Amino acid sequence: MGKAPASVEFRNVSKRYGAVTAVDNVNFTIEPGTLLTLLGPSGCGKTTTLRLIAGLEMASEGSITIGGRDVTLLSAADRDVSMVFQSYALFPHMNVLDNVAYGPTVQGLPKAKAHEMAMEKLRLVGLAGLEKRAPSELSGGQQQRVAVARALVLEPQVLLFDEPLSNLDAKLRRRVREEIRELQLGLNLTVAYVTHDQEEALAVSDRIIVMSNARIAQSGTPRELYEQPASLFVADFIGDANIVDATITALHGERAQVQLGPVQLDLPHRGAGMGAVKLAIRPDALQLGDAPGGLAGTVAKAAYLGRQWEYTITTAVGDLFVVDRGRAAARMLGSPVQVALEQAGMVVLRLE
């Protein structure tokens, strides 16, 4: 790769369609050579944000900088950015080689040179030998690689992925996402990646931005988001979480005394004051047992998933979703059970 990776910076960027605000005053920076994921439910503005980077949408307000250069008013064709589309968007009337060579061709490079550049990238993604095929003659995974090769061929400053795995079956998804991450690290690329799948986001990202209702809900490393969610929304969206009501009864230093039903807990208060709070409990922080001391409940639902059992337990503080990886023996519906709480998987959240 000839060029050094570039940074991307959004300063107070908004995008409005008439009365609808798709992106509302968003600020962030993608450091050069890192992979940033835009994560959120559908309609949260993550794809619009990605398209703003590409120049497929123009910002209504604010400025966008790529590699230190203001590109806010530049059209997509003038930005040094490539994109891998959700549908791959391979040109159906061109073969694989012509698809990948499209970028250099429209830049006016001679055909031989364009094909040479295309072949290099096809080798990189492991598709050498298939260059004469039509896109429709390739499998989904292969089409995806063609799309990646085509996006890489101009050696863009920034590479964008719009839900690249959503058209692949579950097994392939894991492999392709590992390949994308390898490629990004190997070529030292700046990548922006959109997905609604939190597991995918956790697996590939250097940093994640969680978006909700056109705004940034929280940004940080995958661990920060999972372990220190800033809001109910983030706690619920990243990984499963049981959100229950609790009360802070005493504060001492960084920590607080939290009353959850009959159970007393000692947790970091994270800025919450005395009184009512919410508690986010990860399903794997709950342990089912028979010895008293935890929350008493009854089994309301049970599902066997091979590696684990998933239970819904009715307790005094509400229904709790529990993942049990330990034992193979099933708990009968309606049978009593004790839920033990593991402090590591719990965070205090202020009421909003």
Partner 1 sequence: MRARQESRTGALALAVLACAAFAVLPWYWLDFSDTSHWGEYPVGPAGSALALGLTGKVWLLPFVLPLGLAVAGGMLPLGAPGRADRLVWAGGGGLAYGLVQGFALGLKGWNAAWLASLAGGPGPAQAGFGLGAAIVLAVFLLLLCRGLAERGWCRGDAFVVSSVGVVIALVGLFVFFPVGKILASAVQDNAGNFAPAQFLEKFLDESIWGLACVTGNLRCGVAWNTLLLGVLVGAGSTALGLAFALLATRGTVHGKKSLKILSVLPIITPPFVIGLALILLFGRSGVVSAGLSEWFGIPRSRWIYGLPGVLIAQLLAFTPIAYLVLVGVVQGISPSLEEASQTLRASRWTTFRTVTLPLLRPGLANAFLLGFVESLADFGNPLVLGGNFEVLSTKIFFAVVGAATDQGRATVLSIVLLIFTLGAFWVQQAWLGRRTYTTVTGKGDSGVPPPLPKGVAIACWGVALPWALFTVVIYALILVGGFVQALGRDYTPTLNHYVTAFRIDTSDGGFRFAGSAWNSFFATVEVAAMAAPLTAAIGLLTGWLLTRQTFSGKRAFEFGTLLSFAIPGTVVGVSYILAFNVPPIEITGTGLILVICFVFRNMPVGVRSGIATLSQIDKSLDEASLTLGARSATTLRLVLMPLLKPAILAALVYAFVRAMTAVSAVIFLVTAQYNMATTYIVGRVEAGEFGLAIAYASVLIVIMLAAILFIEFIVGERRLGRRGAAGVPVAAGG
Residues that bind partner 1 (CB under 8 A): 54-56, 58, 73-83, 85-87, 89-93, 102-103, 106-108, 150-151, 154, 160
Q: Are 151 and 92 in contact (CB under 8 A)?
A: no
Give the containing element (helix H, strand E) for 82: strand 81-84
Measured CA distances, 130 to 56, 125, 153, 165, 281 (Å): 30, 11, 17, 21, 49
Q: Which is nearer to partner 1, 119 or 210 (CB)?
A: 119
Could you tell me the smallest distance in angstroms from the CB atom of residue 323 to partner 1?
34
Q: Which is nearer to partner 1, 74 or 302 (CB)?
A: 74
* Strand 255-260 with 309-315, pairing: unpaired
Cα 179 to Cα 288: distance, rounded to the nearest angstrom: 38
Q: Which is nearer to partner 1, 27 or 107 (CB)?
A: 107
Q: Which is nearer to partner 1, 54 or 185 (CB)?
A: 54
Could you tell me the smallest distance in angstroms from the CB atom of residue 147 to partner 1?
8
Q: Which is nearer to partner 1, 70 or 319 (CB)?
A: 70
Could you tell me the smallest distance in angstroms from the CB atom of residue 57 to partner 1?
8
Could you tell me the smallest distance in angstroms from the CB atom of residue 55 to partner 1?
7
Cα 316 to Cα 311: distance, rounded to the nearest angstrom: 16
* Strand 295-304 with 275-281, pairing: unpaired
Q: Which is nearer to partner 1, 94 or 263 (CB)?
A: 94
Could you tell me the smallest distance in angstroms from the CB atom of residue 104 to partner 1?
9
What torsion, rounded to 10 degrees, do the Cα atoms 241, 243, 249, 252 define?
A: 30
Of 244, 246, 224, 245, the residue nearest 234 (C-alpha): 224
Give the containing element (helix H, strand E) for 224: helix 222-227
Could you tell me the smallest distance in angstroms from the CB atom of residue 69 to partner 1?
8
Of 288, 293, 299, the residue nearest 324 (C-alpha): 288
Q: Are 279 and 349 in contact (CB under 8 A)?
A: yes
Could you tell me the smallest distance in angstroms from the CB atom of residue 35 to partner 1?
18
Could you tell me the smallest distance in angstroms from the CB atom of residue 168 to partner 1?
17
Q: Which is nearer to partner 1, 106 or 276 (CB)?
A: 106
Q: Is 279 helix (H, G, I), strand (E, B) or coil?
A: strand
Q: Which is nearer to partner 1, 58 or 185 (CB)?
A: 58
Q: Where are the beta strands (DSSP E) in 18-68?
A: 20-30, 35-39, 61-66
What torsion, rounded to 10 degrees, do the Cα atoms 18, 23, 25, 26 define?
A: -160
Q: Which is nearer to partner 1, 104 or 229 (CB)?
A: 104
Could you tell me the smallest distance in angstroms from the CB atom of residue 107 to partner 1?
6
Which bin fits 261, alpha (ψ -120 to 50), beta or left (φ > 0)?
Answer: left
